[in-house]
Structure 1
Amino acid sequence: MKKLIVGLVAGMLIGTAGMAAAATTQTVQATLAKFTISIDGQKQKLKSDPLVYKGTTYLPVREISEILGYDLAYDNTKKTIDLSKGENKVTETNDSFASTIAEPNPTSSEINMDEWISARNLVDDYGVDVEISSGKIRDLKFEINGLSISFSVPGSNIEGTYKSIDGQHEVMIKNGALYLSKSAAKFLRIDIQ
């Protein structure tokens, strides 16, 4: 009889704990929606559809953070999500210009790679800090070894070649990627192999 009572009490405690845990989680009814997502005028493709709940659209935070170039850390025990720039050393202010620091298009024969180096390679391979501001005119700054070069370029990723503020160096936007002239990299004392 004691075993029956102990078993019944244990079962009630487990059942009560399960109901308490379930009470902290709320179930809602939301709608999956198809949206065209654009960042700086460039369409982005999401793997997961956004949710719409009570007129508010919820985007998949991991995919959005990847598109914007952020690392995401999720801690289930603390229920926290942390977005950070991670190792990239690319600083952006206000809104994203990450597509310009995109991987260079390797099929592009229009770019003489003897004269240019991609911003992504400068960041990843040489530790150059690239700072980008937002707006109709974007200020770009390449910095390393205590030296820096600054540019002002259109905020809408218009392809072309642009002179630095001092008129001595060039940066190019081509196929959605940003390139610095190798002569400018040499000025920054970067030994390009």
Structure 2
Amino acid sequence: MKKTIVALALGLLIGSAGTALAASETVQAVFGKFNFVVNGEVKELKTDPLVVDGTSYLPVREVAGLLGFRLDYDADSRTIKLDNKLGTGSAGGSTTNQTKGGSSMETITDEWISLQELTQNFGIKINANSNSLSLSKNELVIEIKFIRNGDEIIGGKTSSGNIGLRIKDSETQLKLSDLRAVGIVD
């Protein structure tokens, strides 16, 4: 019995020493302040990059957004995927190549567009507050009031009807076909 207690105490002592050694490793880092210019346009990061031993570590999701990419993260495989936001089909729709009867055809697999894409590709001005979005182009103004389920925004409503609205990967997206139906997008 005494040998068991001594062996157990010795095991705990060795295990805690290993943990203490592992926890004592530190990395010195400083927050970097950088100027970012993308295609001649000055951009600002919301999150300051870290600099460790002369190497800059940038927030991937934020930089991807500045460069016009959509970032998806697969937690199961720990994979970061970057894709063009616009794909190769119509604005906001990603495409999949399919073969039918020996010929290749493109199929639009989704029809969501980010607020950033609306501004960049359609010249739409956007104003937002906690209850709504206002989209304007030329003389046309569309007010989209948020539809909520508790604290979660699950859609949008205009005087002309509902607008598909979702928040995906911290990015607000609207359904392109609904924007066409209300006439704000051609």
Normalised TM-score (structure 1)? 0.40
Higher relative contact order (CA 8 A, sep 6+): 1
Normalised TM-score (structure 2)? 0.42
Bigger strand fraction: 2
